[in-house]
Structure 1
Amino acid sequence: MHSSDSTFPQLEQWLDEKHVTEIECLVPDLTGVARGKILPREKFTEDRGMRLPELVVAMGVTGEVPYEGAYQNIIPPTDQDMHLRPDPDSACIVPWASDPTAQVIHDCYDRNGKLVPFAPRSVLRRVCDLYAAEGWRPVLAPELEFYLVARNPDPDVPLTPPVGRSGRAESSRQAYSIDAVNEFDPLFEEVYAFCEQMELNVDTLIHEAGAGQMEINFFHGDPLALADEVFYFKRTLREVAMRHDMFATFMAKPIAGEPGSSMHIHQNIIDTATGRNLFSNPDGSPSREFYWYIGGLQKYVPAAMAIFAPYVNSYRRLVRDSAAPINIQWGGDNRTVGIRSPVSEAPARRVENRVIGADANPYVSFAATLACGYLGIKNRIEPQTECTGNAYHGDYELPRSLGEALTLLRKDADLSSVLGEAFVTVYTEVKEVEHAEFMKVISPWEREHLLLHV
């Protein structure tokens, strides 16, 4: 497939209307990094099958890939090509480009025309198709936290809050402070302007608890479209931050002593035949599906943690007394639990997964949380008793490290059946390589406490 086929006349018309001269052909990899090619408009239109090696979407954050094991059975060392197919719905302008430039996210297909099963977009499409087969339409709304930090070219130097309009860096926590957000007005005005040009459906911006920590909320919508928006937003925010002489980071725990950053995902299901929220009965009360969905999250979230918390750094956020969940308790108007159901009218009844980190790949984390709920409904899994107290004081119920999380994911046949065995194999093998790379690094803590004492 190529963009000059009759399948994409609207895309060609849109490119004409925007006077686009260059196109960034993007593919999100397992980390969420934008891979791909930059093509002149003419080349994009005439290209008879743009290709990339399969391993491009199956690399770790260090760029390494496994050179042995089951990974090689799925992605052979012959380094065969994927065939890229543009998704016209993902096309938008690159606001910071000097010439009229578009960015278009592509899906990955093999030579037989089947979706590459370990590509992040393919995994989310697979799960959404399972919902569609039941007559359901999942709806999500992510809330994404991040930090603005001072430029830091040296990875050995700890990160610090940036200087705002006042000429001073934040030194205290300013949760929900309007004035603290206004410190960075020029940056956020540009972010909103860029998002408007890209037609991203961003909603509320707030200041979170950490020094320089913010949160952006997205309107609820289709999972794939929203994953694209989160992917684009991360890219946009990083670009704008650098234009304002600072960095933006979605690390789960970038600064010691400050709260971590999460990606809370609100989720519900619409019955496509009736338009009814599946989580509410006709009389407005919570439905069986609502409770089963929560039961599925409680059962399968621990096994999905390698997806929700994908790096060694992710587990620094998920510790006691850090304003992050440490278990899979559920509750109503209770922000200490891992699974929350906010107060709402019956048509808007939803479940919020508060476990996921801001560092998670939006495509595979959306797929995984939907997979947990799907399995809960299909298997009619009853939830535990609702938690009405402080879940932060409860027991740990989540894996405490990436290694432990990878073991749980490998062992869970139910999640593999929904997400796809090829994806789980590739993902876990890549993460093992990342973990091995991390273990080669000696931390300042080890030098401080072990050098002269053991």
Structure 2
Amino acid sequence: MSSSPDDFDTIRLFWADIHGVVRGVSMSADAFEAARDEGVGFANGVAELTLEPGMLDDPQFGPETGDMLAIPAVDTLAPLSWRDGEGAVFADLRTVDGRPFPLCGRTALQSVLGEFRDAGFEPLAGVEVEFSLYADEEGREPFNARTSYDMAAIDRAAEVIDEWDDAMGAAGHDLASVHQESRPGQYEVTLEYGDPLSTMDGAVFLRHAVSALARRRGIDATFMPRPRGGEAANGTHFHVSLWDGDGEENRFAGEADDALQFPAGRRPDGAGLSETARHFVGGLLSHVDALTAVCAPTVNSYKRLVPDIWAPTTVGWGLDNRSTVLRVPPELGPGARVEHRLPDSACNPYLAMAATLAAGLDGIRSETDPGHPVETGTATEGDRLPRTLWSALDALAADDVLRDALGADLVTEFVKLKRDEFDRYQDSVGDWETDEYFDAF
């Protein structure tokens, strides 16, 4: 049950730009009441700011193009645990005449979910979000010196974790688990399984809450995909299943299949994968190059997609295989699901989930064969993911299915923004290049 505006003195109106950066405004509860139906106006160019930040040379929405409206999704209104008397609400972006604003990722996800429901499916999703904590605001020293699943890291961060739990619980998003990831200061938070829109709201809110709470403690939190060389990287893994319209039958669950052999012989008796699940996997694999642009949307993202740091490099699916883009966990039957391991911590969760689902639905409609599961962890010639943001953007620009699902305007502006980002990267020279080449030539 959502909160009432009368519960608060001030309310933050949230929306995510095309990068996934949370933007919005804080207003009095009285002002919110006046704006809740008609929305709050923003210069529409704010939705396509670069990360620098700045404007593109050729924006779709320049200063002469007026406003967009952020319409509160009032059912998401909830308290901010770290601010007495203050609430927060997510918003959908609309044009001034009430049409969906073309650069709104949250709206794009709702549109794709509508396609599934029209086809008789009810998607469910969970998400695992990884990020790095540093003991100082300059990000110099990891928050701890521990590694994978070390319980001392949980004790070290116990009060911080309590704050995350309080913040997410107050906002209506339950934490399923928290653990230390593979590198010092790296944590993974798992959100409860549920409706994909609410789950992605939770992923967006988690970034905001973790960063805000870290600042209050004088520490630093980053969701950068690979914040330091030599360290493991931060992913955002989606777990997805499809159910019937009544939510009673997992449509990914199939009959026993002796060909499904999990590592160490793990396979539930009498359980397998349905053709629907296989076609869903096939759809993701057939669009994987374009998906990479949306799920790994920064130059830094491609320093995560390398061997030996538990991130996917191989274009394929695997049975409990964490080297592949898609992993099928051994919990089949009612728990049957597909883990999409390509998204990283810098993706726009709404866009990445919308693209994931759209690719899967195309696979179901086209009855796409995923081929055999990958059994090794070695990437061989011809089965690597795109190695750069630019090449992934080429694939996205050419993918009609994702263009139609996300919206032509959104894909066009996403590609322009990210090409601009890549060009700015190309115009800089880093320490590694200087160390490698300055005295060599």
TM over 0.5: yes
- Stretches of structure 2 lacking an aligned partner (at least 5 in a row): 257-270
Q: CA deviation at 1:101?
A: 0.8
CA contact (8 A) 1:145 1:215 kept: yes
Which of 344, 361, 373 is equivalent to 1:357? Answer: 344
- Superposition map of 1:229-248 within 5 A: 229-248=202-221
CA shift at 1:285, angstroms? 3.5
Q: Paired residue for 2:135?
A: 150
Give yes or no for contact 1:317–1:324 (8 Å, CA) kept in 2. yes
TM-superposed CA distance for 1:282, in Å, is: 6.9
Instruction: Report the Cα distance in structure 2 between the residues aligned to 1:229 and 1:127, rounded to whole angstroms.
Output: 18
Letter in 1 for 2:213: V
2:8 is equivalent to residue 35 of structure 1: no
Tell me what 2:415 maps to. Answer: 428
Cα distance in 1, alignment partners of residues 95 and 339 from structure 2: 35
Asked if residue 103 in structure 1 is aligned to residue 93 in structure 2, the reply is no
Q: Is the 8 A contact 2:253 2:332 kept in 1?
A: no
The answer (yes or no) to whether the contact 2:45–2:62 under 8 Å persists in 1 is no
* 1:16-415 map, 5 Å: 16=6, 18=7, 20-47=8-35, 48-68=38-58, 71-72=59-60, 75-97=61-83, 99-153=84-138, 159-162=140-143, 169-170=144-145, 174-273=147-246, 275-281=248-254, 284-391=271-378, 396-415=383-402
Q: Secondary structure at the match of 1:388?
A: coil
Give the Cα–Cα distance (whole angstroms) in 2 for the partners of residues 194 and 118 of structure 1. 28
Aligned to 2:264: none
Q: What is the distance in 2 between the residues matched to 1:352 and 1:394?
A: 24
> Secondary structure of the residue that 1:304 maps to in structure 2?
helix
Deviation per CA, 1:382-441, whole angstroms, max 9, x where unpaired? 002111222456765211011111111101112212221111001111111222222222
Q: Deviations over 1:178-230 (max 9, x none)?
A: 11221122211222222222222211001111111110101111111111111
* Distance in 2 between residues matched to 1:274 and 1:369, nearest whole Å: 20
| Structure 1 unaligned regions, length at least 5 | 1-9, 163-168
Which amino acid letter does the alignment assign opposite residue 81 of structure 2?
A: P
- The offset of 1:63, in angstroms, is 2.2
Change (3 A) 1:224 1:253: same
Report SS of the residue matched to 2:287.
helix
Corresponding residue SS for 1:338: strand
* Secondary structure of residue in 2 paired with 1:220: strand
SS at match of 1:219: strand
- Whether the 8 Å CA contact 1:340–1:354 is kept in 2: the answer is yes
8 A Cα contact 1:302 1:397, kept in partner: no
Once residues 427 and 32 of structure 2 are traced to their aligned partners in structure 1, the CA distance between those partners, rounded to angstroms, is 42
Quote the offset at 1:49 in angstroms: 4.0
Q: State whether residues 128 and 138 of structure 1, in contact with CA within 8 Å, keep that contact through their aligned partners in structure 2.
A: yes
- Asked whether the 8 Å contact 1:175–1:209 carries over to 2, the reply is yes
CA distance in 1, matches of 2:25, 2:224: 26
Structure 1 residue aligned with 2:263: none
CA distance in 2, matches of 1:108, 1:200: 22
2:438 matched to 1:444? no
Report deviation, 1:256: 1.2
CA distance in 1, matches of 2:62, 2:206: 33
- Offset at 1:290? 0.8
What's the TM-score once normalised by structure 2's chain length?
A: 0.92
Post-superposition offset of 1:245: 2.0
- Count residues with an aligned counterpart: 425
Q: Distance in 2 between matches of 1:102 and 1:273?
A: 33
Displacement of 1:354 after TM fit?
Answer: 0.8
Give the deviation of 1:358 after TM superposition.
Answer: 1.3
Query: In the alignment, is the contact (CA less than 8 A) between 1:325 and 1:391 conserved in 2?
Result: no
Task: Work out the CA distance in 1 between the residues paired with 2:76 and 2:304.
Answer: 32
Structure 1 residue 303, shift from structure 2 partner: 1.1
Match of 2:267 in 1: none
- Which amino acid is the alignment partner of residue 372 of structure 1? A
Could you tell me how far apart the structure 1 residues matched to 2:172 and 2:108 are? Answer: 25
What per-residue deviation string (whole Å, max 9, x for no partner) do you get for residues 273-319 of structure 1?
57311112477532111110110111112111111101011000101
Change (3 A) 1:152 1:84: closer
**CA apart distance, 1:67:** 2.3
Change (3 A) 1:35 1:352: same
- The amino acid across from 2:115 in the alignment is L
Structure 2 SS opposite 1:437: helix
Give how far 1:77 is off.
4.7
Secondary structure at the aligned position of 2:345 is classed as: coil
Q: Counterparts of 2:43 and 2:248 in 1: how far apart (Å)?
A: 42
Cα offset, 1:79, TM superposition: 3.0
Query: Which secondary structure does the structure 1 equivalent of 2:273 belong to?
Result: coil
Asked whether the equivalents of residues 325 and 392 of structure 1 are also in contact (C-alpha less than 8 Å), the reply is no
- Corresponding residue SS for 1:109: strand
Q: CA deviation at 1:131?
A: 0.8
